[in-house]
């Protein structure tokens, strides 16, 4: 069972195997106790073996598992040795040991991913080998939009487990948008009382005539968020929250109408938006709005310890600001050239506010327009151009171009694809994605923190639809983010497909409703629901 995903840096096979038995023990060296707790729990559930704690490293000789830190290894780097002495997983830090433990789980076979043993008489064996491995990028992310369709807490925890199984380490949590506000803010209770649900939902693309005529909503309490963050941390995943400003904010304005451009429209008539697209109702650039969102971010910082906080900043129409006397007065007061600079001022305010509290702002690449503060980072989604511009200007970048790694885009051109959105992005297309643009010099390329796959859930009403869009493509993306692959054209996709044969069995054991290689199953299709396919190959820039 050496069909590993993502592919490790170096594997040397031996002759023989370590058999885990009822006598096998698990030893946790200093600093690895958390990993041992996770690994022991997972393997006891799947195998039924007791895997008792070993008091001394020697107690694992022959048929046990040892975990320890190795000072000579870099952070997140690991070495796994399976030989006559048992299995030893070493890491440069606890995260490295954890990723090595994930590899060990793959080596044990797909049934190691089950929550209860299905055959207590079977053998559990790890082949003799040595694996040395380390990630290419420090930011290996998945963005999940829970604003368009709410995912209950249990579903979020499940996705953290799926991320960990693929050695992804950043969970970008898209918590607010026009269609829903999903995080409890104590000082502004109407954000969830009003903003967390909508009266109905458009089914399919925004041009679809179909509606689901029932309320949709949900939110995470502060304790839910604490649990999610702690669960992620146990799996060495950082949770980066996103609170959208100044666009994508109708849910907040519906809850607190004074946040909108009240001199242009009657904001008291607004409700949480029930359709998709770019919404014209944006935040007013007033001191009241700034103070309100400072209060929101104060509570967000209490709940999320991440270095980065995402503020959105994308798709902010300026028409209301152009017609607003209040917005125009602010432009004159600040000596700004236009509404684009007004948005830059708005984002810059929160960049300075976060920096003063030891955090860093990150936003979609529109935040580059009008200038960007020194410490801010950019999520490059409109192709590669924003990321190239940001890196050349000395800003850190996460590459997540829509044309390459938006997993809500369709996986096949066939007519049976459910609710086809965007360009065709096959498993092979994702496998050949290259996060670092070749135009960057080595010094500029150092600003590429890593890469991220994004999932927008307008047409994904439940976890089965999310699974279908995410998998198996997330496995290909994970290898791109982790492994030191050759250039896109030279990558061995046939070899990856062979390894996926084993990986599909792991996904089966995990209960993932992935898209089969032969196409959607009958119950995965959604005939008659309008999508928005885009023909032809996507642009590369």
Interior angle at CA 62, CA 60 and CA 68, nearest 5? 40
**Residue in 188, 236, 248, 395 annotated catalytic:** 248
- Taking every pair of Cα atoms in the chain, the longest distance, rounded to a whole number of angstroms, is 78
Phi, psi values for residue 263, rounded to 5°: -85, 0
Q: Is 38 exposed, middle or buried (0-12, 13-18, 19+ CB in 10 A)?
A: middle
CA separation for the pair 504, 475 (Å, rounded): 10
The set of residues, in sequence order, having a beta carbon less than 8 Å from that of 489 and lying 6+ positions away, is 432
**Residue in 63, 177, 461, 467 annotated catalytic:** 177
Q: Which residue has the tokens 């010099």?
A: 441
The set of residues, in sequence order, having a beta carbon less than 8 Å from that of 112 and lying 6+ positions away, is 42, 43, 46, 47, 105, 106, 124, 509
**Residue in 17, 83, 315, 369 annotated catalytic:** 315
Contact indicator for 449, 390 with CB cutoff of 8 Å: no
CA separation for the pair 48, 238 (Å, rounded): 31
Identify the three-state secondary structure at position 510: helix
Interior angle at CA 470, CA 513 and CA 522, nearest 5? 40
**CA separation, residue 300 to residues 145, 173, 226, 262, 309 (Å):** 17, 12, 11, 27, 9
CA separation for the pair 478, 471 (Å, rounded): 11
**CA separation, residue 142 to residues 117, 234, 256, 452 (Å):** 30, 17, 31, 5
CA separation for the pair 68, 410 (Å, rounded): 43
**CA separation, residue 444 to residues 135, 274, 396, 441 (Å):** 20, 42, 9, 5
Phi, psi values for residue 65, rounded to 5°: -125, 130
> In the Cβ-directed half-sphere of 215, how many Cα atoms lie within 13 Å?
9
Other C-beta atoms closer than 10 Å to the C-beta of 347 total 27
Annotation marks residue 177 as catalytic: yes
Annotation marks residue 248 as catalytic: yes
The set of residues, in sequence order, having a beta carbon less than 8 Å from that of 101 and lying 6+ positions away, is 35, 38, 39, 67, 89
3-state secondary structure 137-181: CCEEEEEEECCCCCCCHHHHHHHHHHHHHCCCCEEEEECEECCEE
- Choose among 107, 300, 61: nearest CA to 185: 300
Other C-beta atoms closer than 10 Å to the C-beta of 342 total 22
Annotation marks residue 307 as catalytic: no
Q: Which residue has the tokens 């803010």?
A: 185
Q: Which residues are tagged catalytic?
A: 177, 248, 315
């Amino acid at each position: 069972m050496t069909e590993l995903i993502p592919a490790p840096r170096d594997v040397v096979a031996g002759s023989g195997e370590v058999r885990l038995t009822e006598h096998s023990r698990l030893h946790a060296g200093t600093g690895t106790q958390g990993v041992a707790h996770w690994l022991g729990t997972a393997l006891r559930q799947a195998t039924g073996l007791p895997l008792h704690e070993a008091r001394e490293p020697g107690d694992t000789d022959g048929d046990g598992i040892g975990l320890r830190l190795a000072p000579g290894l870099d952070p997140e780097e690991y070495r796994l040795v399976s030989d006559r002495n048992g299995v030893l997983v070493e890491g440069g830090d606890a995260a490295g040991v954890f990723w090595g433990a994930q590899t060990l789980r793959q080596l044990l076979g797909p049934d190691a991913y089950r929550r209860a043993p299905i055959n207590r008489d079977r053998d559990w064996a790890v082949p003799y080998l040595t694996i040395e491995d380390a990630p290419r990028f420090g930011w290996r992310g998945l963005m999940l939009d829970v604003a368009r369709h709410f995912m209950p807490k249990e579903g979020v925890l499940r996705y953290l487990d799926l991320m960990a199984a693929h050695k992804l380490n950043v969970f970008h949590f898209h918590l607010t948008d026009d269609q829903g506000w999903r995080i409890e803010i104590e000082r502004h209770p109407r954000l969830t009382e009003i903003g967390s649900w909508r009266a109905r939902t458009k089914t399919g693309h925004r041009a679809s005539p179909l509606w689901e005529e029932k309320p949709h909503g949900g939110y995470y309490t502060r304790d839910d968020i604490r649990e999610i963050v702690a669960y992620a941390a146990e799996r060495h995943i950082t949770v980066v929250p996103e609170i959208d400003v100044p666009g994508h904010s109708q849910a907040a304005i519906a809850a607190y109408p004074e946040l909108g451009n009240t001199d242009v429209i009657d904001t008291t008539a607004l409700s949480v938006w029930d359709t998709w697209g770019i919404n014209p109702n944006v935040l007013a650039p007033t001191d009241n709005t700034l103070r309100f969102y400072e209060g929101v971010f104060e509570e967000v910082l209490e709940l999320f310890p991440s270095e980065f906080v995402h503020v959105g900043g994308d798709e902010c129409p300026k028409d209301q600001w152009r017609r607003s006397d209040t917005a125009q007065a602010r432009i004159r007061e600040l000596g700004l050239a236009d509404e684009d600079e007004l948005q830059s001022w708005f984002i810059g305010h929160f960049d300075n506010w976060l920096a003063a509290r030891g955090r860093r702002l990150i936003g979609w690449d529109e935040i580059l327009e009008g200038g960007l503060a020194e410490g801010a980072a950019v999520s490059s989604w409109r192709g590669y151009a924003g990321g190239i511009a940001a890196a050349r200007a000395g800003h850190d970048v996460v590459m997540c171009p829509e044309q390459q790694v938006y997993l809500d885009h369709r996986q096949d051109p066939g007519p049976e694809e459910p609710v086809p959105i965007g360009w065709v992005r096959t498993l092979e297309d994702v496998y050949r994605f290259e996060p670092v643009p070749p135009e960057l010099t080595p010094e500029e390329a150092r600003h590429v923190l890593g890469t991220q796959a994004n999932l927008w859930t307008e047409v994904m009403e439940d976890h089965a639809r999310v699974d279908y869009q995410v998998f198996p493509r997330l496995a290909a993306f994970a290898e791109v983010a982790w492994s030191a692959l050759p250039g896109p054209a030279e990558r061995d996709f046939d070899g990856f497909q062979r390894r996926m044969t084993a990986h599909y069995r792991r996904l089966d054991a995990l209960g993932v409703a992935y898209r089969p290689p032969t196409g959607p199953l009958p119950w995965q299709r959604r005939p008659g629901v309008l999508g928005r396919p885009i023909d032809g190959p996507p642009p590369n820039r």
